[in-house]
Amino acid sequence: MKERITISVSTVNGSRHFHLGLKAQKGIRRAAYFAVGISLVTVGAFFYLVGEVGFAKLKQEELEKHSYSLNEELASLKQLKDELENDLGERESRLSLVSDRLGELENLLGVNVDGGSPLETRLDVAAINSAVRVAVLDNLPNGSPVKKARQSSQYGKRTHPVTGKVHLHAGLDFAVNIGTPVYAPADGVVSTVRPGNKGSGNFIRLQHSFGFTSSYSHLKKFAVRAGDFVDKGDLIGYSGNSGLSSGPHLHYEIRFVGRSLDPRPFVDWGMDNFEHIFEKERKIKWVSLINKVEQRVSKQLQLSSQMVVTSQANSS
């Protein structure tokens, strides 16, 4: 009897009795245990899922914040991109303008450079050529030593207006009033300052670079002394009528290693017609002279670049 359990169910129709044997009891217990296990697993799964949902919400919030941050960063990068594109457009416009202006300068300088060459190369070539021209025109006589003056007697053989003899007129005469300022046509040093009442009268000679000299005769008075260094355009004296002269004027001579040259091409020479002198005056080995100046200018530009780099390195 101990191994059997009797269950009585009473209704209006009477009572019914159910007898559970040992196996039935074990089955019921197993079912109960299984149900309890399923319940525990279900509860555990529920709490686990609740936790996962909370974690997922936190993750979602973090992702939303990160997405907002990325959107802000993206907007900032887009703005930066737009600014860089605008800046690049402006730089390209400036480079185009520089290239056009450089082309004009190359035409002026007579520089033959391939238009497809890098801008840096074209700038270097133009810089050297312009620097060479400036250096040459600073160091060799060019332009008129007096302003707005009429040329009264050219270079060449003529009959002297005072002596009546035919001889080489080794200079160029300017018809100017007494006291007209006379200026140095190039950098140099005053090699001679000679007062006199005969021949050339009051006389100045300037020593320039590469064997060139210029001289000024029949002056009224001097504005420099022998040994003075002068720059192109400096006042050196005043025109007059001293010495063997038929009237007020300035007698202007240019010599190369002692040989007289026609001053007229040098007076007409300047930056705008730089090659003019090469055709007009063929006694000078211009190619060799220009090459020498180019070497000096290139060294100076290299030294200047090195100094700039060194200065930037020191400042940084």
pLDDT digits (tens, 9 = 90+) for 39-58: 888 888 888 888 888 888 88
Q: Are strands 150-153 and 172-175 parallel, antiparallel or unpaired?
A: antiparallel
pTM value surpassing 0.85: no
The pLDDT score that the predictor gives to residue 169 is 92
What does the pLDDT look like over 96-150, one tens digit per residue? Answer: 776 666 666 556 555 555 555 665 655 555 666 788 889 999 999 999 999 999 9
Question: Is residue 248 over pLDDT 90?
Answer: yes
Listed residue (273, 252, 126) closest to 186, CA to CA:
252
- The answer to whether the beta carbons of residues 263 and 253 sit under 8 Å apart is yes
Phi-psi category of 283—alpha, beta or left, where left has phi over 0 and alpha has psi -120 to 50? alpha
- The answer to whether the beta carbons of residues 21 and 3 sit under 8 Å apart is yes
The pLDDT score that the predictor gives to residue 172 is 96
The pLDDT score that the predictor gives to residue 97 is 72
* Lowest pLDDT segment from 18-22, 171-175, 231-235, 292-296: 18-22
How far apart (Å, rounded) are the C-alpha atoms in residues 176 and 151? 9
Question: Is residue 175 over pLDDT 90?
Answer: yes
* Lowest pLDDT segment from 60-64, 171-175, 283-287: 60-64
Which pLDDT band, with edges at 50, 70 and 90, does 167 fall under?
confident
The pLDDT score that the predictor gives to residue 266 is 97
Which pLDDT band, with edges at 50, 70 and 90, does 312 fall under?
low
Strands (E), the chain: 5-11, 14-20, 150-153, 156-159, 166-169, 172-175, 181-183, 188-194, 202-207, 212-222, 229-230, 235-239, 250-256, 259-261
How far apart (Å, rounded) are the C-alpha atoms in residues 252 and 262? 10
Backbone angles phi, psi at 286, to 5 degrees: -65, -40
* Lowest pLDDT segment from 86-95, 170-179, 243-252, 291-300: 86-95
Question: Is residue 1 over pLDDT 50?
Answer: no
The pLDDT score that the predictor gives to residue 32 is 82
Give the distance between the most distant pair of CA atoms in the chain. Answer: 178
What does the pLDDT look like over 53-82, one tens digit per residue? Answer: 888 888 888 888 888 888 988 899 999 998
The pLDDT score that the predictor gives to residue 301 is 73
